[in-house]
Amino acid sequence: MIGISFATLALLSALRGASAHGYVQEVVAGSSSYTGYLPYTDPYWNPTPQRIIRKIPGNGPVTDVTLIDLQCNGDTADGSPGSAPAPIYGTVAAGAQVNLNWTTWPSSHVGPMITYMARAPSDITAWSPGSSAVWFKVAESGKTSDGKWASTDLLTATDSIYTFTVPPKLKAGQYIVRHEIVALQSASVYPGAQFYPSCIQLQVTGSGTALPTSFVAFPGAYTSSTPGVVFDVYLNTSAYPIPGPAVWTGGN
């Protein structure tokens, strides 16, 4: 049962509301659907609902790219820094599409949507990558040549559903999917860009054998001077440089 009142929940929401943004509330992987980690209700249930997304403190961003919090939007302050494992995982076939359902996203928060994966060396429900370089990029979407941003124009056009494809030849195993929006409305200087990462635990099935050979760490992949972490969305009409490494294509 819910352990605290909805008045308290409303108050918590209001406190967060000053900087209300969002998170992934649902994952549809292949034919299976999983509710995301819901930061404003899950903590108040007993027993706590089991989710495939790692716990996040709320709908707010991480802005310091040096913090472990950048990895999975874990909250250093609550003693579960970065990426405390979730208790269960979803299952998806290599080559399948994964749909990530975002909560309502403010139209001012323009920016890219970027997706990484990391292969768990052992049981994913007990693994936190820490500062290890284990991540490879599988998808990215920034600003189109006609000025449409992934997190606003494109996400709105798809009813808040972001879709990526699990690399078809990726070797079977357990992976963390690190998916993020980077909101750039204040990113003309650092700190300013707002990172909204989610870490989703998936078992990938299939007979593929491909694995990448180059990896980045979170924190580490982004710095205070990385192009695309610093970018003036109001004045700079150039192509937007999506931060992080190139998308790994060896799994296609």
Ligand X SMILES: *[C@@H]1O[C@H](CO)[C@@H](O)[C@H](O)[C@H]1NC(C)=O
Q: Please give the residue ranges that form the binding site for ligand X (CB under 6 A).
A: 25-26, 101, 159, 161, 227, 231, 236, 238, 241
Residues 123, 247: Cα–Cα separation, whole Å: 26
Minimum CB distance to ligand X, residue 252 (Å): 27
Residue 101 vs 165, nearer CB to ligand X: 101
Residue 44 vs 125, nearer CB to ligand X: 44
Minimum CB distance to ligand X, residue 152 (Å): 17
Residue 19 vs 236, nearer CB to ligand X: 236
Residues 135, 119: Cα–Cα separation, whole Å: 8
Tokens 């709908």 correspond to 59
Residue 207 vs 238, nearer CB to ligand X: 238
Residues 203, 119: Cα–Cα separation, whole Å: 10
φ, ψ of residue 174 in degrees (nearest 5): -95, 135
Residues 140, 179: Cα–Cα separation, whole Å: 10
Residues 135, 125: Cα–Cα separation, whole Å: 17
Minimum CB distance to ligand X, residue 206 (Å): 26
Minimum CB distance to ligand X, residue 238 (Å): 4
